[in-house]
Structure 1
Amino acid sequence: MKLIDYSIRNYHTVIVVIVMTLVVGFLCFQTLPRQLAPTVDKPQIEVKTEYRGLSPAEVERNITRRLEDQLESVEGMKKMTSTSQHGLSTVNLEFEWGIDKNLAMLDVNNKLQQVKDLPVNSDKPTLRSISSDNSSPIMWIVFDKPNENMPNLDQNYMYKVGEDIIVPGLRRVKGIADVWHFGGEDREMRVEFDPYSMARLHVTYQDVINQLSGENQNTRAGFHDEANRSYTVRAMGEFLNPDDILETVIKRDGEKTIKVKDFATVVDGYQRTASLVRISGNLSNAFGVIRKAGANVVETCNLAAKKVEELNQELLNRGIPIKVKIVYKEVDYIDEAMRLVKSNLAFGALLAVGVLLLFLGSVRSLLIVAISIPVSLISVFIILKLLGRSINIISLAGMAFAVGMVVDNSIVVLENIYRHLTMKKGVFKAAYDGTLEVWGAVLASTLTTLAVFIPIVFIQEEAGQMFRDIAITISASIALSLLVSITVIPTLTTLLIRLKPGEEYKPGFFHQTLFKPFVFLGVKMGDGYSVIMKWLLCYSPVSIIFRVLILASVGWMLLYSVKTLPEKDYLPYGNVGMVFMLIEPVAGTPVETNMRYMAKYEKKIVAMEDVDRNFLVFSSRFNGGGAIIKKE
């Protein structure tokens, strides 16, 4: 085979390729995104439309049904579900697995553009593609008091600080797609009417709405030029305080001028409370950081943590008595999980090397085979980079599984080379003949393994996306180990073992000294196994009975193992240092009432020794709470 012959004769080229592969693989390892689990892109698109103040029935009648009528003709849609609640319509479109999400998003957007009869004051519908990357925050940040003795701050004041400083600052961080903000409401000036005065003055609600809408704006008035200067002229009409609204003229009836103050009062306050957050019993604000699709979780969390330090300094410089604190980072759990997988990976590699040393008995032989482990595994990072994958616990688990598998081909080739060395062929002839003799069997063995894992790569469903990385890593490792076994192994054999034709190959140093008792025991066990198998394979009645018993025992063990399997689950649970609870409030219950109902449970949670802090959130996006567990 030309590839084997070329590798043996041009060992400099092989060594250069090995070094370049290790360097490029290491660089790919450094640049690959790191996240807890692979990205699962669900075939779902969410359409949200807000119209504050509408009841669920009105939202369904005026918004949801009109959207559904238009969206039901979207191509490839399998199922459509909708939810109508106070001031919010949510329509979820589910498609067949494998659909092009970009085309589906474009189709849905085109359908939404054709909806012409939505209420004038409703917000425009917003689209969101559902995937595991944007389904849950990678970091939770809360407002805290710089000093515990300080009085509690107003939640709406904290909300304004969050919207003006914190949210814009975090959104500028590389890798962050969005920031969820819970707690508090925007400022508003509310006009409260006296219906009897309006009836007496013959003023309607529509008159007031139209006049206030027209007056609450600044109007361009052209330009004014002087000798050496040009001015832009504007008519200032935007309301800045309650008095501006009270003095607004609604109607003139002859000599009578009717102003807002004649039939209404103006309250400078905040919008109706729809979001409340309480951290360990105190009102606060919470921020959930959503990463961009494909962004490196570790890098994004580190950049966000650095930004939080800068924001704290900015708040201090502005004299704002608020401190921003990170209470949860997914990177902590990722680091712990990856550290565990990496340690298992290293421990498995050491065990494989130890077993190789025990059975090969030669340091040179061990070195030849052991080199195939890092070469095969580090090369996998190049494949992951080319395929746009990430480093996660699934891909690392696949590499941990492959540690023992990647040396199989190398051991088969090396053992056959040693067999040819005992024939006194010389190292070059033995390396070529030994590799050439078994490369077909090694190829067949590799293909059977690939036939098991490669089909997983083409599964489009959620399970296929979740376990695609493990199939890619194992398949790539095994395929690369085949290439290593027929190129690197014979090349290293010719470099590390110097035997000329006619010279006798001797067992390894360890087999002659330290491991000699194990070699003796192995020989005796082999002889005993041969005697037992000869007896079992003879045609005596006793041997036939023993064969039947052995088969029955194996069958019983298989049946027993099936019955004792652990409970089925989607994925195993891990300790993320946080406990979540989801709460489903009774429809129509104000958030203040819901928070009051949970107060007694909150006190019990805060009193627990293992709880660092707890949180409660009631909003249109999320209702629930949880606890941050103290680190052990």
Structure 2
Amino acid sequence: MNISAPFIKRPVGTSLLAAGVLVIGMICYFLLGVAPLPNLEFPAIFVQARVPGADARNMANTVAAPLERHLGQISGIDTLNSFSSEGSSFIVMLFNVGTNVDNKARDVQAAINAAAPDLPSSLRVPPIYRKANPNNAPVLILALTGTTQPLSQLYNYADTTLSPRISQIPGVAQVDINGGATPAVRVDLNLHAMAAMGLTGDQVRNALVAANVIEPMGYLSDGNTQLAINANTSMTQPDQFADTIVAVRDGVPVRLKDIAHVYSGQQDQYQAAWYNGQRAILLMIRKQADANVIAIVDKVRALLPQLTPDLPAGVKLTPFFDRTPTIRASVDEVQITLLISLGLVIMVMLLFLRRWAPTLIAALAAPLSVTGAFIVMYLFGYTLDNFSLMALVIAIGFVVDDAIVVIENIHRHLEKGLRPMDAALAGTREVGFTVVSITVSLVAVFAPLLFMTGFFGMLFREFSVTLVAAILISALVSLTLTPSLCGQFLHVHPPRSETSRLGRKLEVFHEGMRARYAKALDWSLRHPRLLAAQVPLLLVLTIALMVVIPKSFFPQQDTGAIQGSTQAGADISPEVMMQLQQRVAKLV
């Protein structure tokens, strides 16, 4: 049985099918996302809770501890760690490899809800959780600065205007706002004045909560007409809070301004950011997992001229951190390497085959295999990253092997006098099993990467799937399109009486290679023991080099950016820390 016969006998249909694969593959190429690394789903979930003003000890005892008790009851947890600092608690849950993180995310949300009664009432916003994603780093950071507007107004403008506009861009997952917080009325209590009045912090808090309540007031009706009572009892300005009566002593009302300093500020006064030495609000733009990072950044930059006219006078919106230059450079370099590899493969085939028809027929296997791999990548939700493109570069050297085997065998039958169609049928039938065995052996080399577990398994799965897909598609092309084209365009050329100078040089080159190979083969057959000793020698040398060669998780590269962090003692106040941070920034 010759599985290639239907395709050989129908060259037009086979060519149209190949053209369809080529077109669909190119469409999928433009639909693929671009990222530096594959989309990795680590078996980890992060939980974060914030209580402005709480110290690290209180955060650990009143927030982190109750959350850990409930989160620790989730099955499949490998390790559970928590980190608490001033106003914030951060919990890291690592699950066993192979755990479905989406299912565990629902368990985490249920545990957070169960822990709510044990959490302090000062926790205004429920704890939030998110899955680990190495591609979740901001792709672009915008700095909003202004000389005519206070920081609270800049934050309000970023939160109500800029963030929603940017979030509407396809592929943008979220826009985080840092460097400021929600505007709020701050109350700094005077402990000495409170002690003189016999007041405690809880009494003051309860008085403010009772005075700032929004609730339905009911209706007024005379039987014929009904009116809803609307009374605005909420307070939004500092002077309204300052005049609030918090207690009565000896018949004299005690107002909040008598025992505290009331002023406008932000909810978290210790959150700050600077841009070129000026206080700024930072908008950190993050992409969706399968989005094209380059396209997102280009769309955001295209949107900036539309946002600038709406900014108040003296306010500027400046992009200052862009991850795409290094991503563009690395992806472009790999794509150029892919084209160079394809060109070199075609040149080498032309050098040895010395005929345009078999060279071009064999060369078609490369673009068809690559575009077919693009279709598989799109169906699996993969991205164009360094690993998938590296797999395609490696596959270029493999995908033409099967086609060359088929073409050489068909050409052998042509030299025996068979017609092109008969030669294609006979030649493909003879080497069909050989092509399948070559493909299976190559797949067997890379298939173990598909079954690797842990982080490296997740990292190399996209690489192995892309490479195996290109190899399998090349086998299909070699058994269908290649013999079909050979049956139409491959012919035996009679020997020419005169050969060009280049042809004569190629003949001399080929004869020289045959002669050197014959001598090397004769020497090898006369010294079998010496050649057999090479196997253990190479094995020992490989092991020695594995020990000696330096190792690293990723190769070092210059991204053109320097990041640093500063750490001070626990007794350093936030105000002093800000000053020290600015001194470090000026030195850098």
Normalising by structure 2, what TM-score? Answer: 0.91
Aligned AA (2:33): P
Deviation at 1:203, TM superposition (A): 4.2
Report if aligned partners of 2:566, 2:581 keep a CA contact under 8 Å in 1. Answer: no
3-state SS of 1:358 partner = helix
Deviation at 1:370, TM superposition (A): 1.1
Within the candidate set 196, 200, 206, 1:210 is matched to 206
2:394 aligned with 1:401: yes
Aligned match of 2:5:
5
* CA pair 237-328 structure 1, distance change in 2 beyond 3 A: same
Within the candidate set 371, 391, 397, 1:378 is matched to 371
Distance 1:510 1:566 in 2: 54
Distance 2:169 2:246 in 1: 47
Distance 2:578 2:239 in 1: 35
* CA pair 155-129 structure 1, distance change in 2 beyond 3 A: same
Distance 2:484 2:531 in 1: 48
Aligned match of 1:579:
562
- Percent of aligned positions that are identical: 24
* CA pair 177-536 structure 1, distance change in 2 beyond 3 A: closer
Deviation at 1:20, TM superposition (A): 0.9
Distance 2:35 2:60 in 1: 39
Aligned match of 2:285:
289
Distance 2:557 2:354 in 1: 41
More divergent stretch after superposition (517-526 vs 442-451): 517-526
Within the candidate set 497, 514, 524, 1:526 is matched to 514
Distance 1:17 1:228 in 2: 79
Aligned AA (2:509): L
Aligned match of 1:421:
414
Alignment of 1:18-417 (within 5 A): 18-115=18-115, 116-122=117-123, 123-134=125-136, 136-144=137-145, 154-195=150-191, 197-199=193-195, 201-223=197-219, 232-251=228-247, 256-271=252-267, 273-315=269-311, 319-417=312-410
3-state SS of 1:584 partner = coil
2:580 aligned with 1:597: yes
Deviation at 1:308, TM superposition (A): 2.7
Aligned match of 1:622:
none
Distance 1:508 1:449 in 2: 40
Aligned match of 1:466:
459
3-state SS of 1:220 partner = coil
Report if aligned partners of 1:215, 1:237 keep a CA contact under 8 Å in 2. Answer: yes
3-state SS of 1:268 partner = strand
More divergent stretch after superposition (35-44 vs 182-191): 182-191
3-state SS of 2:513 partner = helix
Structure 1: give runs of 5+ residues left out of the alignment: 146-150, 499-503, 606-632
Aligned match of 1:555:
537
Aligned AA (1:66): P
Aligned match of 2:445:
452
Distance 1:143 1:328 in 2: 13
Structure 2: give runs of 5+ residues left out of the alignment: none
Aligned AA (1:121): S
Distance 2:25 2:286 in 1: 30
* CA pair 58-224 structure 1, distance change in 2 beyond 3 A: same
Deviation at 1:452, TM superposition (A): 1.5
Distance 2:331 2:346 in 1: 22
Alignment of 1:478-497 (within 5 A): 478-497=471-490
Distance 2:199 2:320 in 1: 53
Deviation at 1:22, TM superposition (A): 1.0
* CA pair 510-415 structure 1, distance change in 2 beyond 3 A: farther
Encode CA deviations 1:377-426: one digit per residue, 9 max, x unaligned: 11111111111211112111111111121000001111111111111122
Distance 1:351 1:229 in 2: 90
Aligned AA (2:553): Y
2:428 aligned with 1:432: no
Aligned match of 1:611:
none
Deviation at 1:73, TM superposition (A): 1.6
Distance 1:561 1:29 in 2: 40
Encode CA deviations 1:247-269: one digit per residue, 9 max, x unaligned: 32334578644433444442333
* CA pair 228-142 structure 1, distance change in 2 beyond 3 A: farther
Deviation at 1:484, TM superposition (A): 0.8
* CA pair 214-307 structure 1, distance change in 2 beyond 3 A: farther
Encode CA deviations 1:101-157: one digit per residue, 9 max, x unaligned: 1111111222222222111121312111111232x1111211356xxxxx5875444
Within the candidate set 553, 558, 567, 2:550 is matched to 567
Report if aligned partners of 1:4, 1:487 keep a CA contact under 8 Å in 2. Answer: yes
3-state SS of 2:43 partner = strand
Distance 1:229 1:15 in 2: 82
Aligned match of 1:514:
502
Normalising by structure 1, what TM-score? Answer: 0.85
More divergent stretch after superposition (320-329 vs 93-102): 320-329
Aligned AA (1:160): N
Distance 2:139 2:390 in 1: 22
Deviation at 1:186, TM superposition (A): 3.6
* CA pair 510-454 structure 1, distance change in 2 beyond 3 A: farther
Deviation at 1:50, TM superposition (A): 1.4
* CA pair 205-595 structure 1, distance change in 2 beyond 3 A: closer
Deviation at 1:557, TM superposition (A): 10
Aligned AA (1:527): A
Deviation at 1:38, TM superposition (A): 0.5
2:520 aligned with 1:537: no
Deviation at 1:234, TM superposition (A): 1.7
* CA pair 157-420 structure 1, distance change in 2 beyond 3 A: same
* CA pair 337-535 structure 1, distance change in 2 beyond 3 A: closer
More divergent stretch after superposition (115-124 vs 517-526): 517-526
Distance 1:330 1:398 in 2: 23
Deviation at 1:237, TM superposition (A): 1.4
* CA pair 424-225 structure 1, distance change in 2 beyond 3 A: farther
Deviation at 1:356, TM superposition (A): 0.6
3-state SS of 1:579 partner = coil
Encode CA deviations 1:310-347: one digit per residue, 9 max, x unaligned: 222211xxx34211111222222222211111111111
More divergent stretch after superposition (441-450 vs 258-267): 258-267
Aligned AA (1:130): A
More divergent stretch after superposition (348-357 vs 520-529): 520-529
More divergent stretch after superposition (409-418 vs 304-313): 304-313
RMSD of Structure 2 on Structure 1 (CA): 3.0
3-state SS of 2:564 partner = strand
Distance 1:67 1:556 in 2: 56
Q: Which has a greater percent of helix?
A: 2
Distance 2:497 2:105 in 1: 67
Encode CA deviations 1:32-69: one digit per residue, 9 max, x unaligned: 11212101111111111111222111111111111112
3-state SS of 1:522 partner = helix
Aligned AA (1:555): L
Report if aligned partners of 1:63, 1:118 keep a CA contact under 8 Å in 2. Answer: yes
Aligned AA (2:459): M
Aligned AA (1:169): R
Aligned match of 2:436:
443
Deviation at 1:71, TM superposition (A): 1.7
Distance 1:368 1:511 in 2: 24
Aligned AA (1:548): L
3-state SS of 1:581 partner = coil
Deviation at 1:228, TM superposition (A): 13
Report if aligned partners of 2:180, 2:268 keep a CA contact under 8 Å in 1. Answer: no
Report if aligned partners of 1:75, 1:107 keep a CA contact under 8 Å in 2. Answer: no
